[in-house]
Amino acid sequence: MIILVTIRDVAKLAGVSQATVSRVLNGTAGVDPEKEKRVINAVNETGFKPNEVARSLFRKSSRIIGYVVPSILNLFLNEIGRAIEDEAFQHGFRVILCNTDEKPEKESLYINMLSSMNADGAVIISNNNGLEAEISSCGFPVVVLDQKIDERYSAISVQCDNYQGGYLAAEHLVQCGCRKIVQMRGPQKYISGVDRFRGYLDVCEKYGIEPRYVDSNYDFESGLECARKILSTFPDADGILASSDMTALSFYKILCQSGRRVPEDVMIVGYDNVRLSTLVTPEFTTVAQPMEKIGRLAVQLIADKISGQKEVPPNHMLPVELKARQTTTLKDRTLS
Amino acid sequence: MIILVTIRDVAKLAGVSQATVSRVLNGTAGVDPEKEKRVINAVNETGFKPNEVARSLFRKSSRIIGYVVPSILNLFLNEIGRAIEDEAFQHGFRVILCNTDEKPEKESLYINMLSSMNADGAVIISNNNGLEAEISSCGFPVVVLDQKIDERYSAISVQCDNYQGGYLAAEHLVQCGCRKIVQMRGPQKYISGVDRFRGYLDVCEKYGIEPRYVDSNYDFESGLECARKILSTFPDADGILASSDMTALSFYKILCQSGRRVPEDVMIVGYDNVRLSTLVTPEFTTVAQPMEKIGRLAVQLIADKISGQKEVPPNHMLPVELKARQTTTLKDRTLS
DNA sequence: GTATACAATGAAACCGCTTTCAAACAGCGG
DNA sequence: CCGCTGTTTGAAAGCGGTTTCATTGTATAC
């Protein structure tokens, strides 16, 4: 068993009071250099490490932030999580992983947990509107991703320009020469799904193209299903706007099974630019969301909010960028 | 600002002592039913949530476990992490994400941090031998993955049968008809690298095949480099044993660039069976490590160690399994 | 030499909860 | 009715830090 050294032990050994030890450790007040040296020696000798729990109790802050997501297995969320951990570390925060499986009860449970742990903030991804009350009353700053924030509600929002993403992706296909473009439309309960669809529709209108779409989710399985539906409903499709890089992968797989080639017969644009999209062959053209920036910004906003030094605006929009790679190409117009 | 309700407030409202409230909440002793009801009402009325930090301080346990890994971006570690979170949740633990980037100082820092947070356990992946002292003295049970445990050292080890993995993968290629099999050999500083190589060597000996290998790491970039080296050193290779699914992907990419086909010209066997290996096209043949089982077992071992009820053996070996998919196939022997 | 300001210091209070301990009380047998 | 268990109960003492507050000692001003 480990014998734990307390501040009292150090004080006794150094022949000073606990208060003095605390002051040396935190630099909160001047201490006689001679005593300071004795304290430092005593700390080294005993191997004293301040108990963070006791500190948290007094300070009402545990320097913990929660990352509350449906599942960390989602590569997009995973990359954001990595950035959050890194930025948090630099700010002296630790991050607690909270997988909710999209279950409202797990969401509430984790938020309450964080609250009773004196957490200092949370980054949350959820499509559960019932969470607003909990978020407003949890006692720490919350950044929600990919959701617009109601004015009267205290969270901070970070999202990417989904309209622009939908627009860029669609226009890219048009410029490559596609005319029968089908969108694997993301869930309309998410603002991301709605805005990207709007972007796509505007491109269709601009170029006089008839909009086509089939609903999908963002995960691989729903992508497979959607892909099959597209191949049977729109067998002449020549360009696909996937809802994510995962569903782009699904589409590619189904397409290969049907004997069609990418990009010669059908072009595909993914969404997110998860690292995976450049690892596979062919590399996937995709709309890049700045995942690292999202994660870092989220943590910075929390840090700003805690410090209270600057005003933190409630809504933050990040730009997206099209990455043209091997699943799209300029179509050889001599054939058509 | 949120006004926080303490146990004193509840006690006052219910007209009992804090002790009684505590007893009702924890069921640690009998309480008069009438008072119990008053306490429950008061709790509901005030919305009281016990402060976990105060509890932790007294109990010397925060019900937190750390997941200490080089990077959660590694898909293999990510899938294990997901399982850890899930199992931990069921045991009432939260998990703190600790990315170390393989930096010894970040490893130490996180272990000390966990220690001073009264963490209840940690799952650690590291190739840093200097960590032993810290692990032994951190005050909570530690499970290390993919490392054998020295007897005099108090951690618990969970690893997969790497010898078997190397053996199965190599023999599978032989059975598919490959004779010029090259291993992308994993780092020999890891036991996993050593054991898989042994498995491969034994298969070579068994079938009278000359061993060939090029050193690689487990990540995609080192896989690319290794793949190029293999193509130039062993241009007649007909089977590749990748060090991971990532490096298998690297090899596939380089191979496609060189115009060779998989599996017709060269077959590939990956390692890990990360989910990705079935999402890509072609689906990758791979050696499956039971990632979910690894994660869950690690948490269960920690829980067992904490409860102290059963003896926890220090070494745990899990079996691996070959998943034959589209990057390998029975070779048409009429050609050779 | 005395009054005043100021830095250093330790005792004690406190953060919010759990548990010990002893007192109060109820039930029961004799 | 008394003494003996056995159960409820609240006051108080921690858990291990930080901070307040009053005290001491030293330096500066008059």
Planar angle of CA B84, B50, A49, nearest 5 degrees: 65
8 Å CB contact between A100 and A107: yes
* pLDDT of the residue at A323: 98
The two tokens of residue A234 are 């729109």
Binning pLDDT at 50, 70 and 90, where does residue A127 land? confident
Give the torsion through C-alpha atoms of B75, B77, B78, B83, to 10 deg: 130
In contact, B236 and B179? CB cutoff 8 Å: no
Q: CA angle A40-A41-A47, nearest 5°?
A: 90
CA distance to A26, A44, B159, per residue, from B132 (Å)? 30, 20, 17
For chain B (336 residues), the mean pLDDT of every run of 10, in chain order, is 85 93 91 91 94 96 96 96 97 96 94 95 90 89 88 86 98 97 95 96 97 97 98 97 98 96 97 97 98 98 92 95 97 60
Q: Where are the beta strands (DSSP E) in chain A?
A: 64-69, 94-99, 121-124, 142-145, 156-160, 181-185, 212-215, 239-241, 267-272, 285-288, 315-318, 321-323
How many helices, marked H, and strands, marked E, lie in chain B?
13, 12
Q: Which two tokens stand for residue A251?
A: 């589409």
Lookup result for tokens 């002592």:
B17
> Closest Cα to residue A132, out of A154, A105, A101, A113?
A154
User: Is residue A334 predicted with pLDDT exceeding 70?
Assistant: no
What does the pLDDT read at residue B336?
47
| pLDDT (average), residues A270-294 | 98
Instruction: Tell whether B69 lies on the interface with A, counting CB pairs under 8 A.
Output: no
Q: Tell me how far the alpha carbon of residue B309 is from its chain's centroid.
A: 25
**CA-to-CA dists, residue B32 to B7, B25, B38, B97, angstroms:** 18, 13, 10, 44
Q: Are B124 and B144 in contact (CB under 8 A)?
A: yes
- Candidates B57, B95, B116; nearest CB to A97: B95
Residue in B closest to A60 by C-alpha: B53
- Specify the 3-state DSSP secondary structure of A48: coil
SS3 A113: helix
Q: Is the pLDDT confidence value at A274 over 80?
A: yes
d(CA B255, CA B197): 23
Specify whether the CB–CB gap between B166 and B191 falls below 8 A: no
pTM of the model: 0.94
What is each CA distance from B207 to B76, B182, B202, B267, B329, in whole angstroms? Answer: 31, 14, 9, 18, 19
Residue numbers in B near A280 (CB within 8 A): 249, 253, 280
Q: How far away is chain B from the Cα of A92, in angstroms, using its nearest Cα?
A: 11
Chain A residues 39 to 58 with C-beta below 7 Å from nucleic strand D: 48-51, 54-55, 57-58
Shortest CB distance from B72 goes to which of A50, A82, A116? A82
Classify residue B8 by burial, with Cβ atoms within 10 Å: 0-12, 13-18, 19+: exposed
Averaged pLDDT for residues A270-280: 97
Strand partners, B215: B185
Contact A77, B68 (CB under 8 A): no
- Per CB-CB distance under 8 Å, the chain B contacts of A51 are 57, 116, 118
> How far is it, in rounded angstroms, from Cα B114 to Cα B121?
8
From residue B72, alpha-carbon distances to A52, B52, B80 in Å are 25, 27, 10
Sign of the dihedral defined by the CA atoms of residues B110, B115, B116, B117, in that order: positive
Alpha-carbon Rg for chain A, nearest whole angstrom, is: 26
Question: What band does A336 get if pLDDT is binned at 50, 70 and 90?
Answer: very low
For strand C, which nucleotides have at least one atom less than 7 Å from a protein CB? 7-20
Residues 6+ apart with CB under 8 A from B126: B68, B70, B100, B102, B107, B144, B147
Contacts of B181 (CB under 8 A, 6+ apart): B170, B173, B174, B200, B204, B209, B212, B237, B238, B239, B240, B241
For A80-89, b where at least 16 C-beta lie within 10 A, e where not — what string? bbbbbbbbbb
Q: What is the mean pLDDT of residues A128-138?
A: 86
Measure CB to CB from residue A53 to each of B53, B86, B96 and give the nearest one.
B53
- Total number of residues shown for chain A: 336
Pairing state of beta strands B239-241 and B181-185? Answer: parallel
Rounded mean pLDDT, A263-290: 97
The pLDDT > 90 percentage for chain A reads 87
| Cβ atoms of residues B81 and A72 within 8 Å | yes
CA atoms within 13 A on the CB side of A309: 5
User: A24-59: per-residue pLDDT in tens?
Assistant: 999 988 888 999 999 999 999 999 999 999 999 999
Q: Please give the pLDDT value at position A308.
A: 87
> What gap in Å lies between CA B278 and CA B286, rounded to an integer?
10
Residue A151 has pLDDT above 80, yes or no: no
Longest dimension (CA), chain A: 91
Residues 6 or more apart whose Cβ sits within 8 Å of residue A26: none
Q: Is the pLDDT of residue A283 over 50?
A: yes
So what's the pLDDT on residue B30?
81
d(CA B133, CA B325): 44
| Predicted local distance difference test score (pLDDT) of residue B98 | 96
The answer to whether residues A149 and A161 touch, using CB atoms and an 8 Å cutoff, is no
Query: Which bases of chain D are under 7 A from a protein CB atom?
Result: 7-12, 14-20
